[in-house]
Amino acid sequence: MKAAYYERQGKASDVLKLGEFPIPQPGPGEVRVRIHASGLNPSDIKARTGFSGPAAFPLVIPHQDGAGVIDAVGADVAPARIGERVWLFETQYRRAFGTAADHAVVPARQAVPLPGNVSFEVGACLGVPALTAHRCLFADGDIKGQAVLVHGGAGAVGTAAILLAKWAGAWVAATVSTPAQADAARRAGADVVIDRWSQDVPAIVMSETRRKGVDRIVDVSLQDNLDVDMGCLANGGIISAYAVAAASDHLPLPLLKAMIAGCTFRFVYIYTVPEAAKSAAVSAIGQCLADGAYAPTIGMQVALDAIVEAHEAQESGRVIGKIIVKPML
Ligand SMILES: NC(=O)c1ccc[n+]([C@@H]2O[C@H](COP(=O)([O-])OP(=O)(O)OC[C@H]3O[C@@H](n4cnc5c(N)ncnc54)[C@H](OP(=O)(O)O)[C@@H]3O)[C@@H](O)[C@H]2O)c1
């Protein structure tokens, strides 16, 4: 099979290569998937550059997320699954080979049925962003009728959070930086979109929520947004933080303000979310897809041969929407 790979960490153009590999065989409890779409995430970039630590394998085929069709199953997996359309999560977690290839092998539970009304490209957008957004939104219970603030509403996780929160019946405000990002956040369903540079985020949130504030905040950069968040949060509200922006991961907290607000800080790292919560997220995402309520922005699609271009675009931050690599193009 054809695959993209790297044997040392570094710059995309220096280390990413294309090559031929034997088609992998699924072991017991595993399935093999013919990959139609491979989804790129910052996590894949951080693994390739060494930001997340040294590589655990001498040769890595990158990318956690993807979608395709099961074409072989190992022992203990129902042969009836062959031919099933699926989306994949955590394909390269604790494994050397991810989805930037013609085929990928995963434990059967990480190949999730993709409803017939959903494209492979959308399937490849789910994994990291949708599971992270789900955990941020629902770890502390249902959000129907609640108010949610999503920072970075045009980002992959931000958009996933808007889509899932709207599907669940919440009111959603989102912050953005540019008019193009505002369009993306509105397309995802945000009720109010706020430019985080030129507008007063707490003033708008408080006015829109009739001085109550928001019940949940999904935050891509708590280190930058803490003061804004404290100004937007309802009494007893919850702030879910899922990314670290600064070189230092330390954060001084306004303890008295936080105590008076009775607020909760939740921290989310997708790879360590408890299995039961991940299974619940997978089910909820499946229902959202089946309801036709999950339509993320796809910003770029390229053939596997152009994987360097895809990685460079992800790192640049200039593409609004998910970047998809397609081995079959
Ligand atoms: N903990 C986890 O499990 C987990 C899971 C997924 C992702 N992540 C991390 O989360 C980060 C975002 O991932 P992603 O895939 O969503 O990336 P992305 O698609 O590049 O989106 C990031 C978004 O955040 C916005 N942003 C940046 N700084 C902001 C700030 N201070 N306030 C509000 N918005 C801000 C960006 O827009 P502007 O900068 O233009 O405003 C952009 O729209 C990455 O660092 C990723 O590694 C962590």
What is the per-residue pLDDT across 65-81, written as a single tens digit (0 to 9) for each?
Answer: 999 999 999 999 999 99
Per-residue pLDDT, 249 = 87
Q: Is 227 part of a structural domain of the chain?
A: yes
The mean pLDDT of 250-265, rounded to a whole number, is: 95
Per-residue pLDDT, 248 = 82
Same domain, 262 and 142: yes
Same domain, 50 and 14: yes
The tens digit of pLDDT for each residue in 176-191 reads: 999 999 999 999 999 9
Structural domain including 117 reads 2-125+296-326
How far away, in angstroms, is 128 Cα from ligand 1 center? 12
Same domain, 149 and 245: yes
Q: Is 280 part of a structural domain of the chain?
A: no
Whose C-alpha lies nearest to ligand 1, atom 22?
155
The mean pLDDT of 28-42, rounded to a whole number, is: 98
Confidence label for 97 from pLDDT (cuts 50, 70 and 90): very high
The mean pLDDT of 83-100, rounded to a whole number, is: 98
User: How many domains does the structure of the chain reveal?
Assistant: 2
Q: Is 148 in the pocket of ligand 1 (CB under 6 A)?
A: no
Confidence label for 173 from pLDDT (cuts 50, 70 and 90): very high
pLDDT value at 264 more than 90: yes
Same domain, 156 and 234: yes
Pairing of strands 85-88, 65-73: antiparallel
Same domain, 133 and 258: yes
Q: Is 321 in the pocket of ligand 1 (CB under 6 A)?
A: no
Q: Is 279 part of a structural domain of the chain?
A: no
Q: Is 145 part of a structural domain of the chain?
A: yes
Q: Is 245 part of a structural domain of the chain?
A: yes
User: Which of 271, 287, 315 is at the close of a domain?
Assistant: 271
Q: Is 109 part of a structural domain of the chain?
A: yes
Confidence label for 247 from pLDDT (cuts 50, 70 and 90): confident
Per-residue pLDDT, 142 = 97
How far away, in angstroms, is 319 Cα from ligand 1 center? 13
Per-residue pLDDT, 303 = 98
Q: Is 242 in the pocket of ligand 1 (CB under 6 A)?
A: yes
Same domain, 146 and 244: yes
Q: Is 282 part of a structural domain of the chain?
A: no
Same domain, 152 and 254: yes
The mean pLDDT of 114-131, rounded to a whole number, is: 97
Q: Is 291 part of a structural domain of the chain?
A: no
Q: Please report the atom of ligand 1 found closest to the CA of residue 158.
A: 16
Calpha distance 79→59 (Å, rounded): 30
> What is the residue-averaged pLDDT of the chain?
97
Q: Counting every residue, how long is the chain?
A: 329
The mean pLDDT of 289-314, rounded to a whole number, is: 98
How far away, in angstroms, is 212 Cα from ligand 1 center? 27
Q: Please report the atom of ligand 1 found closest to the CA of residue 43.
A: 47
The mean pLDDT of 246-263, rounded to a whole number, is: 91
Same domain, 9 and 110: yes
Per-residue pLDDT, 245 = 81
Confidence label for 276 from pLDDT (cuts 50, 70 and 90): very high
Pairing of strands 30-39, 65-73: antiparallel
How far away, in angstroms, is 315 Cα from ligand 1 center? 11
Same domain, 136 and 76: no
Q: What is the CATH number of the domain that holds 43?
A: 3.90.180.10
Q: What is the CATH number of the domain that holds 223?
A: 3.40.50.720
Same domain, 210 and 111: no
How far away, in angstroms, is 152 Cα from ligand 1 center? 6
Same domain, 239 and 320: no
Same domain, 133 and 267: yes
